[in-house]
């Protein structure tokens, strides 16, 4: 049994415990929650302002992007600015027109003695195509006059795949001499003729890939054969004349070291509708005016436009 003094102390302790309990963890969290609420509201408001500002910036950025982007197929000033212009030589159109003017007479050797003039018009189509290919094989490193003479002698004996295969190498060499590298050409003509008989029924292939696979047939010959024999423009036929003139006029983005490199460079920018014209045009120009040695610059309409003539 407790004394009155103890009872008073207990009562005081009870009141203290009660007050302590009333300020326990739960009450502290509630008070903290009540006091923390304004802080969270401020933070939330700040976050809201940041988010709203970010959305505004994103919207502005999107509007700017839309202003400068052109949709597919769209035309107009904005779309034109996005298209990078392709490279093309300076003054090439005027240079080309001047060459056309100088070549208007069509009186160069290639105009009378080129591959399109060396076959027998009365022969069957398959034989004509074979004769076109043969004239191109003979023309490598050979003047047109010499090639035409060799073709006349061959045609006089009846120029077909069978007749060539029945001709011995010595006789064939005599008939095509003095074309350049005539001994090698005898071998190539015999090998190619045998392949044409075995694989193509005496006709010639109708693709560049198959043509260049034949012995003695290069890319220039293949593209010319496609144009003359098959009537198909497969690429630009580049020989030494076209190669030389294209570099003198700087019609290639950088100097090229081979006809095939020149062909690739020209086809990158020259409009396709000009591909069939360019070989005969430049070959004749190279035979008459833009000679390999001592070009006749004073007689050339391009003397003021030609980088080579101006020493550039």
Q: Which active-site residues does the annotation give?
A: 220
Q: Contact, 164 vs 193, CB < 8 A?
A: yes
> Torsion angle, CA of 76/78/80/82, rounded to 10 degrees?
-150
Structure tokens at 115: 């591959």
Spatial contact of 159 and 134, defined as CB atoms under 8 Å apart = yes
Are the CB atoms for 184 and 195 separated by under 8 Å? no
Q: Which one, of 285, 196, 194, 234, lies nearest residue 221 by Cα?
A: 234
Q: Count of CB atoms within 10 A of residue 163's CB?
A: 14
In 110-205, where do the E strands start and end?
none
Q: Is 250 left (phi over 0), alpha (psi -120 to 50) or beta?
A: left
Measured CA angle at 110 (ends 105, 113), to 5 deg: 115
The structure tokens listed for 244 are: 């030389």
Retrieve residue 29's tokens: 């969290």
Q: In this structure, which long-range contacts are made by residues 149-155, counting pairs with CB atoms below 8 Å and at least 24 apart in sequence?
A: 150/175, 150/176, 150/177, 150/179, 151/118, 151/119, 155/120, 155/131
């Amino acid at each position: 049994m407790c004394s009155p003094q103890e009872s008073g102390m207990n009562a005081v302790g009870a009141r203290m415990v009660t007050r302590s309990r009333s300020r326990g963890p739960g009450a502290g969290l509630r008070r903290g929650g009540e006091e923390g609420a304004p802080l969270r509201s401020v933070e939330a408001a700040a976050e809201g302002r940041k988010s709203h500002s970010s959305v505004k910036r994103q919207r502005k950025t999107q509007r700017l992007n839309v202003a400068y982007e052109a949709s597919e197929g769209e035309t107009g000033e904005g779309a034109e600015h996005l298209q990078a212009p392709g490279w093309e030589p300076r003054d090439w159109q005027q240079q080309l027109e001047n060459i056309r003017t100088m070549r208007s007479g069509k009186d160069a050797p290639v105009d009378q003695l080129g591959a399109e003039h060396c076959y027998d018009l009365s022969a069957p189509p398959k034989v004509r195509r074979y004769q076109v290919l043969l004239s191109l094989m003979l023309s490598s490193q050979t003047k047109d006059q010499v090639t035409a003479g060799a073709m006349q002698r061959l045609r006089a004996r009846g120029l077909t795949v069978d007749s060539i295969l029945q001709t011995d190498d010595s006789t064939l060499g005599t008939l095509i001499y003095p074309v350049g590298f005539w001994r090698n050409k005898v071998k190539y003509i015999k090998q190619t003729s045998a392949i044409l008989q075995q694989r193509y029924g005496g006709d010639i292939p109708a693709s560049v890939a198959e043509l260049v696979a034949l012995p003695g047939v290069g890319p220039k010959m293949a593209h010319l054969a496609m144009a003359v024999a098959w009537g198909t423009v497969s690429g630009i036929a580049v020989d030494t004349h076209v190669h030389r003139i294209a570099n003198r006029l700087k019609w290639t983005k950088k100097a090229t070291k081979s006809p095939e490199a020149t062909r690739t460079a020209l086809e990158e920018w020259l409009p396709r509708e000009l591909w069939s014209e360019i070989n005969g045009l430049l070959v004749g120009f190279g035979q008459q005016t833009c000679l390999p040695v001592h070009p006749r610059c004073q007689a050339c309409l391009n003397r003021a436009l030609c980088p080579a003539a101006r020493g550039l």
